[in-house]
Amino acid sequence: MSYMNIFKFYENKPETHEDQLTRAFLLVLKYVNMAQATFVEMIRQEMIEKHCQEIVPPLVANESWISQIETQKSSNSMGRIEKEAGRLVSIIISNKILDERVTVERSERTAIYDGFIKYEPGWLLIIENKPNYENIWLEQLNPNISENITIEEKCIALCWPDIIENFSSLLERDLVYGSDRKLLEDFLDYSYSLFAWLNPYTKFGVYKDNEYLLNERCKEIMRQLGMGEVGYHRGWHHYIQLNYGSVKQISLFPSIESPPNWEIHLTLHPGDTMTQARELYRKLDIERLLELAEKGWKIQTNFHFSFATKNLMHTKGRIKTEEYLRYWQRNVDSLRQIKRDEFRDFFERMLEMGIVLADDFSVFKADVLDTNRNFVNVCPGIYMEFKWDKEQAIKTDARDQFVEEVRDKIEDALQALGIKN
């Protein structure tokens, strides 16, 4: 039985095997005509860009159609086809475009083609699928085919993110309906969940509430902002690394607390170190910062101590945010390291101000008093957060406005902090 029967699957291969992805993709091509047309057009555009001598005709041409689709087809089983005249195109699909110059040549090896498509009139398309670019073996692009078949010497390289994006576009534009639409949706769900790294991360609306994919979209947005290198803090989130001002990291990330609902969070931690705190309170526009709270921002105190690169005893205290900001702006010049013989008195002073709580003492004792540290740094930071709910994020991103909206929010925050980027 052919594995191109939708009810026949590879029982001896894991669901994450590349052959399973190939088979699923070819089944979509077999049953969804719009997917066929999209794929053929991708091949055509690549052939045009590479100045191939002959270009496959579009599927919309009256005489063009796909007459056969197979997977794992051996070159030894192509006897009847090899007696026909035709032109063969070798196609490689990976997670990124193969950028090497490859000349496709006739080979003597016994070849097993991941995908084989007979495209009338007179075209043979062979597909090599390597979801991981590092696993590409160029010899596999060379067919074992008779002299009756002419070989296009230029390899056609496609990438999965482009295919997935184009298939998603068919759904977004309502160009497929009924069973075709459901089959395409199921294929995208399958690829998102089992081959998540192939997703193009172009819109929140196509991620099916998958936190991994939502996070990848957030990473891509941070890259598109071009404000700094995107790094990762283990146990926290990906972030933009800034090289100036009172805030060094800006993070955009998803949270899913009650599936299928989720939110996208934009967060900043100004004054997270003592040096940053000095910079913060010398330039902070308190009125402007408090106005952000009226525009949907959450502004909270984020007081803590630190030693070397380790933060100690975070607390929100009971002091109002405005009082906290004005206190540290008045006392910015007093920010310094606290010596061991001052630890208790300083904690008591902060407790009296409401900057720390009585319940914080046990953590303070463990993190500071009961250690061998001779000093700690005082870090009167701020926590800033803006968030979009699922509906807002999807709609804004669908209008291609999410990146600029994030940029505007960041600009508002940095201006309030007195940072000129």
Q: Please report, in tens digits, the pLDDT of each residue of the chain (421 residues total).
A: 478 888 888 888 988 899 999 999 999 999 999 999 999 999 999 999 999 999 999 998 778 999 999 999 887 776 666 667 789 999 999 998 988 888 999 988 888 899 999 999 999 999 999 998 888 888 889 998 888 899 999 999 999 999 998 998 898 888 999 999 999 989 988 888 788 888 887 889 877 788 878 888 999 899 999 999 999 888 889 999 998 889 999 999 999 988 889 999 999 999 999 999 999 999 999 999 999 999 999 999 999 999 988 889 999 899 999 999 999 999 999 999 999 999 999 999 999 999 999 999 999 999 999 999 999 999 999 999 999 999 999 999 999 999 999 999 999 999 999 998 6
pTM of the entire structure? 0.67
Beta bridge partners of 196: none
Whether the Cβ atoms of residue 382 and residue 297 lie closer than 8 Å to each other: no
Q: What is the pLDDT of residue 266?
A: 98
Whether the Cβ atoms of residue 413 and residue 251 lie closer than 8 Å to each other: no
Whether the Cβ atoms of residue 356 and residue 315 lie closer than 8 Å to each other: yes
C-alpha to C-alpha distances, 124 to 11, 51, 119, 203, nearest whole angstrom: 29, 19, 6, 35
Whether the Cβ atoms of residue 317 and residue 301 lie closer than 8 Å to each other: yes
Tokens matching residue 36: 């066929």
Single-letter amino acid, residue 283 = K
C-alpha to C-alpha distances, 330 to 27, 141, 222, 284, 415, nearest whole angstrom: 69, 70, 35, 11, 20
Q: What is the pLDDT of residue 244?
A: 82
Placement of tokens 């040096």 in the chain: 275
Rounded-to-integer distance, Cα 408 and Cα 39, Å: 38
Q: What is the pLDDT of residue 83?
A: 66
Rounded-to-integer distance, Cα 241 and Cα 227, Å: 8
Question: Is the bond preceding residue 121 a cis peptide, omega within 30 degrees?
Answer: yes
Tokens matching residue 63: 């005489």
Tokens matching residue 162: 């482009």
Beta bridge partners of 336: none
- The CA R_g of the chain, rounded to the nearest whole Å, is 29
Whether the Cβ atoms of residue 384 and residue 301 lie closer than 8 Å to each other: no
Tokens matching residue 17: 């095997």
Tokens matching residue 142: 């060379």
C-alpha to C-alpha distances, 69 to 20, 162, 349, nearest whole angstrom: 15, 21, 77
Whether the Cβ atoms of residue 43 and residue 56 lie closer than 8 Å to each other: yes
Rounded-to-integer distance, Cα 353 and Cα 348, Å: 9
Q: What is the pLDDT of residue 26?
A: 96
Whether the Cβ atoms of residue 393 and residue 274 lie closer than 8 Å to each other: no
Q: Parallel, antiparallel, or unpaired: how do β-strands 337-339 and 375-389 relate?
A: antiparallel
